């Protein structure tokens, strides 16, 4: 696994945006797997800047987001649909019909999960951007004895509810459920870009990249994928051992 540790977050953002922009430049009909949360915000800013500077069109691009809360409309300011519009889609020339998130307002949530998986099967993801939760979750795949492969309804863990409460007025307002791509759907992406920032993510990054592959740390399953790039700021990377032979550690 190639891991780059950056001195500055701006550099990290540029590098991540560059990888996404290059994917689109090479293949104008690229399929991008996207993420929400605080981790990708700077990356999206850098991507918008690069798209403008390079006159890179996203008109042929399709996107799939990892997850969406159950019960929030796309107009709700804490829905992931709203987040994506604010932070990325409204700044690019991508037609909204080509931007996909699971529909957390669907009457039949199981049918919605099946629909999302059928679409992903038809349009495999070229590059999947991922953050990581403090408990090792990717998307809303929380640590568990068993993980689910496809898109499914996830019950959010107490730790995740607490972490997400900062975005709501009260913790009780955080939806208890979400629809999320499963680890199987994530691992089907042709390439994966895992990003983490901050000292609070250092222990879980070490566990995910150098620890055992276990459903107790869903991100550890990324060790089984052949094309994962990890971009970390120096705080998130501080616990990695430079001579770990399973990692190709680069300092930038």
Residue of 65, 100, 103, 135 with catalytic role: 135
What is the C-alpha separation between 111 and 41, in angstroms, rounded? 31
**What six digits make up the tokens of 249?**
């550690």
135 is catalytic: yes
Which residues neighbour 247 within 8 Å (Cβ) at sequence distance 6 or greater? 1, 2, 3, 209, 210, 240
Which CB atom, from 102 or from 133, has the smaller least distance to ligand PGA?
133
What is the C-alpha separation between 140 and 180, in angstroms, rounded? 6
What is the C-alpha separation between 230 and 192, in angstroms, rounded? 8
Smallest distance, Å, CB 251 to ligand PGA?
A: 22
117 is catalytic: no
Between the alpha carbon of residue 63 and those of residues 66, 81, 119, 139, the distances in Å are 10, 12, 11, 15
Smallest distance, Å, CB 67 to ligand PGA?
A: 9
Residue of 67, 112, 117, 233 with catalytic role: 67
Which CB atom, from 33 or from 131, has the smaller least distance to ligand PGA?
131
Which CB atom, from 131 or from 182, has the smaller least distance to ligand PGA?
131
What is the C-alpha separation between 47 and 185, in angstroms, rounded? 24
What is the C-alpha separation between 187 and 148, in angstroms, rounded? 12
Q: Which residues here bind ligand PGA, judged by CB under 6 A?
A: 37-39, 131-133, 137
3-state helix, strand, coil in the chain (%, to 5): 40, 20, 40
Residue of closest CB approach to ligand PGA: 37
Which CB atom, from 114 or from 161, has the smaller least distance to ligand PGA?
161
Smallest distance, Å, CB 205 to ligand PGA?
A: 12
142 is catalytic: yes
Smallest distance, Å, CB 76 to ligand PGA?
A: 18
What is the C-alpha separation between 231 and 250, in angstroms, rounded? 10
Residue of 117, 126, 142, 233 with catalytic role: 142
112 is catalytic: no
What is the C-alpha separation between 15 and 244, in angstroms, rounded? 23
Smallest distance, Å, CB 213 to ligand PGA?
A: 19
Residue of 13, 137, 152, 233 with catalytic role: 137
Which CB atom, from 61 or from 156, has the smaller least distance to ligand PGA?
156
Name the residues annotated as catalytic. 67, 135, 137, 142
């Amino acid at each position: 696994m190639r891991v780059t540790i950056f001195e500055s977050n701006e550099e990290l953002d540029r590098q991540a945006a560059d990888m996404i922009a290059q994917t689109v430049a090479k293949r104008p009909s690229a399929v991008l797997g996207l993420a929400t949360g605080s981790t990708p915000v700077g990356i999206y800013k850098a991507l918008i800047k690069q798209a403008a500077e390079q006159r890179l069109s996203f008109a042929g691009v399709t996107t799939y987001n990892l997850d969406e809360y159950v019960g929030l409309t796309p107009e709700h300011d804490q829905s992931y649909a709203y987040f994506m519009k604010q932070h990325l889609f409204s700044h690019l020339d991508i037609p909204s019909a080509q931007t996909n998130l699971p529909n957390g307002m669907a009457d039949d949530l199981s049918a919605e999960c099946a629909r999302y998986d059928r679409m992903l099967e038809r349009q495999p993801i070229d590059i999947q951007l991922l953050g990581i939760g403090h408990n090792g979750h990717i998307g809303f795949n929380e640590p568990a004895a068993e993980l689910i492969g496809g898109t499914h309804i996830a019950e959010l863990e107490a730790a995740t509810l607490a972490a997400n409460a900062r975005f709501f007025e009260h913790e009780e307002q955080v939806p208890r459920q979400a629809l999320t791509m499963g680890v199987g759907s994530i691992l089907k992406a042709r390439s994966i870009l895992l990003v983490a920032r901050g000292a609070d993510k250092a222990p879980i990054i070490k566990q995910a990249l150098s620890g055992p592959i276990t459903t107790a740390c869903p991100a550890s399953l990324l060790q089984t994928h052949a094309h994962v790039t990890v971009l970390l700021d120096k705080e998130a990377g501080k616990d990695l051992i430079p001579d770990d032979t399973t990692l190709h550690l680069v300092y930038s």
